[in-house]
Amino acid sequence: MEKKLITAIYPGSFDPITLGHLDILKRASTLFDKVIIAIAINSEKKPLFSKKTRLKMIKDVTSNIPNIEVDNFTGLLVDYAKKKNAEVIIRGIRALSDYEYEFNMALINRSLEESITTTFLVAHQNYTHLSSSLVREVAGLGGDVSNLVPKNVIEELKRKLDAND
């Protein structure tokens, strides 16, 4: 019998991508045949980084992982997942506080599309405190974020903050 290939989507804002996201992504890439990291474009949120810069930063840090694709989407995640023939949605769980929201989202997505399964991966303990909003805040106040984000993101943060001076 031919092996069925499984595509998973890892959606998020990734504003910017952090070492926590990267940890989840690396684990996912060993579990699934293909992982699409998909930037959710939400017209109600005003991101720090443009769609283009977020895509570029993610592409740079994932270029050495062969089964990862980087994309963006608008609208319903399950519609996008179907379009991409993905059967799995990946979300990272840092603490119990993430769980309630993620649990509801998983149920809503399942009620919208029964064939797509949400999978939770547990964040590495080094990164359980880490979020993109924390990175934006610390960097904005001039703090050191080198233990929190990949190198290329530090450069983009500097560029962004210098431009806003």
Catalytic residue among 13, 34, 54, 132: 132
Distance of CA 3 to CAs 82, 116, 159, Å? 20, 19, 46
Residue 78 or 130 with smaller CB distance to ligand ADP: 130
Q: How far is the CB of 31 from ligand ADP (least distance, A)?
A: 15
Residue selected from 127, 145, 149, 156 as contacting ligand ADP according to rule CB under 6 A:
127
**Part of the chain binding ligand ADP (CB under 6 A), chosen from 11-19, 28-36, 108-116, 139-147:** 11-19
Question: What is the chain's length?
Answer: 165
Q: Report DSSP state, residue 145.
A: -
Distance of CA 2 to CAs 8, 115, 159, Å? 19, 20, 49
E strand or H helix that includes residue 115: none
E strand or H helix that includes residue 47: none
21 is a site residue for ligand ADP (CB under 6 A): yes
160 in catalytic set: no
How many alpha carbons fall within 13 Å on the CB side of residue 71?
17
Task: List contacts with ligand ADP (CB under 6 A).
Answer: 12-14, 18, 20-21, 24, 40, 91-92, 94, 98, 123, 127, 130-132
Please list the active-site residues.
Answer: 21, 45, 94, 132
